Structure 1
Amino acid sequence: MDRDEEQTRAPTGDQDEQRLHASSFGAAAVAYAEHRPDYAPAAVRWALDAAPGPRVLDLGAGTGKLTAGAVALGADVVAVEPDAVMLTELRRALPAVRALRGSAESIPMPDASVDAVLAGNALHWFDMALAGPEIARVLAPGGVLAGLWNVLDDREDWVAELARAGGSAVVGPRDTPAAWRAETARAHLPRTGGPARFGAPEQAGFRHGQRRTADSLLATLATRAGVLVMPRQEREATLGRLRDLLLTRPETARGEFTLPMLTCVLRVRRL
């Protein structure tokens, strides 16, 4: 059994939970647009520097955080997003960008129409048994698929303490550098066999940060899928516990601070 078969044969309960988490963001689209960070420009540049041309598809584009970063680098970007509310926020923020309703598993674009497919904090939501052939179909030969994730830099003591206090709902399996490297080294990419082959994956991390206050950091964490699907009382208790921690740490108790992050990139080329 190859990697993709293992992923698609997960227990039904796991698949249901995956779908619940993946579909949770629309309810928080406005907060997502306001509070989620952008992506380190150096990371977006590295994701695209091996692409054979400027045509970029941002797949699972959300409210356009990564779309905006690719546009700023001069790419010709089309955004595709399955959630209508998220898509509305993207179109409001980036009215000049072509933005389409669609999914990774059914991409509304012609064959070989893009030089790169990007996915910002989204690649792990794709059903690669279906999305892999679709991504290969729309990529031109030599095109690049790259997933980008903003992860917390838990090499800082207070960030590590925040991660521990938040638990798995707040800090998931890809949300710190070491966990991201381990998780993405073996997952989230199309299978390498079949008519369209992909080369060896590459990983890279780029320093990033976001200016936050205790309140705005809590607002950011509240847009994470694990928090969005919590029962209300549990969500309030979790965010209250994190607020107490932030108000006792000297790094975060008063005014603005920089949340240390990395933008981590997983990149693979279509052969």
Structure 2
Amino acid sequence: MDHQHASSFGTAATAYARHRPDYAQAAARWALEPAPGPRVLDLGAGTGKLTATLLAAGADVTAVEPDPAMLTELRRTHPGIPAHPGSAETIPLPDASVDAVLAGNALHWFDMTTAGPEITRVLAPGGVLAGLWNTLDDSVDWVAALTEISGPAVIGPRDTPAAWRTATAHLLDTIGPAEHAAFPHSQRRTADSLVATLATRAGLLVMPPGERDTTLHRIRAFLAGHPETADGEFTLPMLTCVLRARRH
């Protein structure tokens, strides 16, 4: 795990809450399908993006988040949800206390050497671990071009369907055999709001200011030069990709 990248999001907690997309409802339902009950831990919950999707799916959600700024934003947005400081490596919950552990755009930050046994500890027998990732749908030409112009520091290997499975499937091996699925998703954006969304990515948050400004300027110029994105609102094509495993 790259600690600098993993710990960068708190500096942009408000922007993260405002601009990051939610998750496809169908993806959350599929992730929870094998779970033996409704008790769900949103692990590495951030500002509560996945929490909201899980609540809409009828889950009984508890959130755990290590970053104080992100946790504050989550508690502001979801005041009725139990939300605890903690991490995947030190989960502040009792043994066998949840039926599923889900992580939204977070599983790849976990140190599974330590987090795997902790997740297994809090999972009830037959419980489910699932990671969900919102990825850009690079089968769409202009999205593929955006990916290329942004560079791997902004839109990296886990951010497009071509590589997310290979990059992350091994993380579930400590729990059980991984299954995977992808669900169409989208978000209404403007050029300004898409730039603001990309600006909350770890690669940009840790860039030196000059390099960051240059990268954002390049992305703005790209969006201004394409008819799909140059004028007003447009639909950003995405997929919510899911890996799930049931406890042995």
Same fold (TM over 0.5): yes
What SS does structure 1 have at the residue aligned with 2:232? coil
Matched, 1:264 2:202: no
Aligned to 2:203: 226
In 2, Cα distance between the equivalents of 1:189 and 1:24?
24
- In structure 1, give the amino acid aligned to 2:197: T
Deviation, 1:77, is 0.3
Residues 63-107 of structure 1, C-alpha deviation per residue, up to 9 Å, x if partnerless?
000011101111100000000000000000001111000000000
Residues 174-222 of structure 1, C-alpha deviation per residue, up to 9 Å, x if partnerless?
111111122223x22252xxxxxx3310010000001100000000000
Matched, 1:144 2:114: no
- C-alpha contact 1:51 1:143 (8 A) present in aligned 2: yes
Matched, 1:176 2:176: no
- In structure 2, give the amino acid aligned to 1:148: L
Gaps of 5+ in 1: 1-14, 192-197
Match of 2:218 among 212, 230, 241: 241
User: Where in structure 2 are the equivalents of 1:33-44 lying within 5 Å?
Assistant: 33-44=17-28
Matched, 1:202 2:179: yes
Match of 1:254 among 219, 231, 237: 231
In 1, Cα distance between the equivalents of 2:138 and 2:244?
23
- C-alpha contact 2:172 2:244 (8 A) present in aligned 1: no
Aligned to 1:126: 110
Aligned to 1:12: none
Gaps of 5+ in 2: none
Residues 86-139 of structure 1, C-alpha deviation per residue, up to 9 Å, x if partnerless?
000000000111100000000000000000000000000000010000000000
Aligned to 1:93: 77
In 1, Cα distance between the equivalents of 2:82 and 2:147?
37
In 2, Cα distance between the equivalents of 1:67 and 1:250?
35
What SS does structure 1 have at the residue aligned with 2:96? coil
What SS does structure 1 have at the residue aligned with 2:230? coil
Alignment length, in residue pairs? 248
Matched, 1:110 2:87: no
Identity %: 72
Runs of 4 or more, structure 1, over 3 Å off, are none
Matched, 1:45 2:45: no
Match of 1:166 among 150, 169, 185: 150
- In structure 2, give the amino acid aligned to 1:245: F
In 1, Cα distance between the equivalents of 2:165 and 2:243?
9
Aligned to 2:172: 189
In 1, Cα distance between the equivalents of 2:93 and 2:187?
34
- In structure 1, give the amino acid aligned to 2:226: R
What SS does structure 2 have at the residue aligned with 1:170? coil
Matched, 1:78 2:55: no
Let me know the Cα RMSD of the aligned residues: 0.8
In 1, Cα distance between the equivalents of 2:47 and 2:96?
25
Deviation, 1:51, is 0.3
